[in-house]
Amino acid sequence: MTTDTLPVVASDQNDGGPASPRRWFVLALALAVLTYSMMQTMLLPVLPALQSALHTDGIGVSWILTAYLLSGAVAAPVLGSFGDRFGHRRMLLIAMGVFVAGSVVAAVAPNLSVILIGRVLQGASTASFPLALAIVGTHLAGDARRSATGWLSGTVGLGAGLALVIGGIIASLAPWQVLFWVGAVFGAASMLLVAISVPSHAVHGQACVDFAGIGLLAALLVGVLLVVSQASSWGITSPGIITSAVVAVLAGIALFVVERRVPAPLLDLPVLWRPTIAIGNLLAVLLGFVPYLFYVGMPLLLQTPQPAGAGMGPQATGWVMFPGTIVAFIGGRFASVLMRRMRSAWVSALAMALIAVGAVGIALWPHDLTANILFYAVMGLGAGIGTTVVADLIAQGSEPHELGGLLGVNGVLRTVGSSFGAPIAMLIIAGGSGVGGFVALFLVAALASILGVVLSMCLRSGSRTRGE
């Protein structure tokens, strides 16, 4: 396989070392991450309106979500790896610029096809989270890095939950195009703040771009995610699903062979097998999978007519779940405090245990609205802490020149976990009778969380945070 070599252009730093963070440094990065996380869920309240306006069916409108997912799954590791080679700040500005362009395309789109093009472009913003974490890892160390990581990790959950409420309000007052214009404004504002507040970091020498690895990784991820997201609508034995599965398997095998031979692989396999990195990635899958069981199950439980559910409307459901969103943000901030006082293994185990407690609580009292709010918030606290500690684990196990790519891979694995969460949740709920399906769903979530506790306790006790 041929790997093209490109020069890495040095930034405006003359000495090659990171400049001191400027005012609004963390705020600028958090706004970029907030923009990406909000666009994951902001369109959910307007999907019925989009289906009607675009004269399509449920499968067609679902591609508005799927296109963003597929694009982001490829963008995160690729742009994260490019950030390691060409500068994280530069790639973050490019990613958000592509997002703004996609938002404008979708806002003026006359049909579904053009909206999907816009959503693919918007998916580039998925790289904002690993790139922002890599920038933090470059410029900060120790407690300062953990605190900033907590802010960014909490912002992911905050944005996704906040967007459900904001999207519902905007949908009731304005046409669906306004949501894309809101995204464009947020994206442009984040670019301005990043350009002003985030210092550059010089990168010297040559860097090889693994185009073969990029292509194979894209084929692998798209194949897997198509199988997971479309099997229920296309049919598990349909030609599309079978073709996607075959492509994914072949691409995975080829990727394994290629990445062991190229001089600068997109996925450095020996690095991914480091114990801290490997366990952090497995925890990322669980932190994508288990909370998504809640995201699917809770609205259905709350909106299912009585006596099986609470019989609530969509907007009321959003407000019931909103406290959990706020607590998830607080959990991200609180994680940095915990990590100053406890081993990472114990903090990670605590996070997964909190998620398990939240799942068991809802399973025991599915008809109690107060219990639903309380235990969903407990889950949110665990998810917020878990997201932060996993990001810190990746930073502990990596070198500065590896951080962006490894965080991108970690983010993709969380996305893959989320992708499995939705169809599995629907399968479990459909397999039960009345409230029994929901009870089974949350018990599965509890068991998966306990697995996360066990994985957490396998972390090495002697690892110390880089930069301390």
HEC assignment per residue over 242-289? HHHHHHHHHHHHHHHHHHCCCCCCCCCHHHHCCHHHHHHHHHHHHHHH
Q: For 269-468, CATH number?
A: 1.20.1250.20
pLDDT of residue 284: 93
**Topology at the third CATH level for domain 11-204:** Growth Hormone; Chain: A; (1.20.1250)
Which two tokens mark 182? 């809101």
Rounded CA separation 411/28 (Å): 20
Could you read off the pLDDT tens digit of each residue along the chain, which spans 468 residues? 334 433 333 343 444 445 556 678 999 999 999 999 898 878 877 777 788 888 887 777 778 887 888 888 888 888 888 887 888 899 999 999 999 999 999 999 999 999 999 999 999 998 898 899 889 888 887 778 778 888 888 888 788 778 877 877 787 788 889 999 999 999 999 999 999 999 887 665 445 677 888 889 888 888 887 887 777 778 888 999 999 999 999 999 999 999 888 887 877 788 888 899 999 999 999 998 998 888 878 887 887 777 767 777 766 777 888 888 889 888 888 888 898 888 889 999 999 999 999 999 999 999 888 999 999 999 999 998 998 899 888 888 877 777 677 887 888 788 788 777 777 887 788 777 778 889 999 999 999 999 999 999 998 754 444 444
The C-alpha atoms of residue 20 and residue 360 are separated, in whole angstroms, by 46
Would you state the pLDDT for residue 2?
39
The whole-angstrom separation of Cα 407 and Cα 80 is 7
**What's residue 12's pLDDT?**
39
Q: Which residues contact 418 (CB under 8 A, 6 or more apart)?
A: 288, 289, 291, 292
CA 158 to chain centre: 12
Q: Which pLDDT score is estimated for 306?
A: 75
Same topology between domain 11-204 and domain 269-468: yes
Question: What is the rounded distance in angstroms from the CA atom of residue 403 to the CA atom of residue 134?
Answer: 6
**Whole-angstrom Cα distance, residue 132 to residue 148?**
10
Q: How far apart are CA 216 and CA 250, in angstroms?
A: 9
Helix, coil or strand: residue 383: helix
- Alpha-carbon distance of 44 to 40, in angstroms, equals 9
Structure tokens at 308: 């099986």
CB atoms under 10 Å from CB of 9, counted, come to: 11
pLDDT of residue 9: 36
Phi, psi of 6, rounded to the nearest 5 degrees:
-120, 145
Contacts (Cβ under 8 Å, ≥6 apart) of 306: none
Q: How many CB atoms lie within 10 A of CB 113?
A: 10
pLDDT at residue number 10: 37
The predicted pLDDT at position 202 comes to: 65
Domain boundary assignment for the chain: 11-204, 210-263, 269-468
Confidence (pLDDT) at 19 = 55
pTM: 0.76
The 3-state DSSP class for residue 57 equals coil
